[in-house]
Structure 1
Amino acid sequence: MSVQNTIEQKLGSGFRVEFLQVENESHRHSVPPNSETHFKVTLVSGDFEGQGKVKRHQAIYRVLAEELAGEVHALALHLYTPEEWSAVGAAPASPNCMGGSKHDPALKG
């Protein structure tokens, strides 16, 4: 099973899902072709009612602990209650990859 499918399955069974989108954004980063290392997750669930962002993220990290300890390098999380989702309607677009710190002149010695 692909990493993306595993993430979808675990989140689907770990939360009361109203909307779930898992996007493999690895191709937008400096990784080999067909990598599954960078993901964007948009999840709408009533389970997030009364929780702040930190608690929501911690809940996701618990469910995806194995993937985060292994092949997943980056996980962008956009977590909403149904009410929040109806107000925003879409997750923000991901920024373009900047190529990592090797391109940051401030970090060059």
Structure 2
Amino acid sequence: MIVNSLLFKTFRTATFSGTRIIARNMSGIVENTIRNKLQTSLGTKHLEIINESYMHNVPKGAETHFKVVVVSDKFDGLPLIKRHRLVNEILKEELQTGVHALSIVAKTPEQWDNSDKVVESSPNCRGGFGK
């Protein structure tokens, strides 16, 4: 299968609710595209791409649900809604072609430096359709 030949193994370190987790993970095509687009467009100072697809009713290895933690000088002076719109515009193609959900944490370098740098875990999937 072509997709499998394009995947490579990585180790991800993330902090969820104060707990440091090191997990072996597969970094896929969509995740790499998201990373490249955000780095290029925003000149990120810090960037985390977290594939949360495993938390949902999707096939194993899916790339449909992501959380991004983006720190960029380009967010200076922008309210949160405009930061989110900017990220959504950069990832417009991915959001139209398979990424079902995108959670965004968008901070300026100063906000990031003054934060606890903890990425809260997303809530469990409720199965969609208001369940």
Normalising by structure 1, we get a TM-score of 0.88
4+ long deviations beyond 6 Å? none
Deviation at 1:5, TM superposition (A): 0.5
- 1:58 is matched with 85
Q: TM-score, normalised by structure 2?
A: 0.74
Aligned length: 103
2:126 is matched with which residue: 88, 98, 101? 98
The answer to which structure has the higher helix fraction is 1
2:45 alignment partner, SS class: strand
SS in 2 for 1:43: strand
Cα distance in 2, alignment partners of residues 30 and 54 from structure 1? 29
RMSD: 1.3
Instruction: Identify the residue that residue 102 of structure 2 maps to in structure 1.
Output: 75
Alpha-carbon deviation of 1:95?
A: 1.3
Tell me the equivalent position of 2:60. Answer: 33
Residue ranges of structure 2 left out of the alignment (5+ in a row):
1-5, 7-28
**Runs (5+) with no aligned partner, structure 1:** 105-109
Offset of residue 80 of structure 1 = 0.5
* Richer in strand (by share): 2
2: CA distance, partners of 1:84 / 1:7: 22
C-alpha displacement of 1:62: 1.3
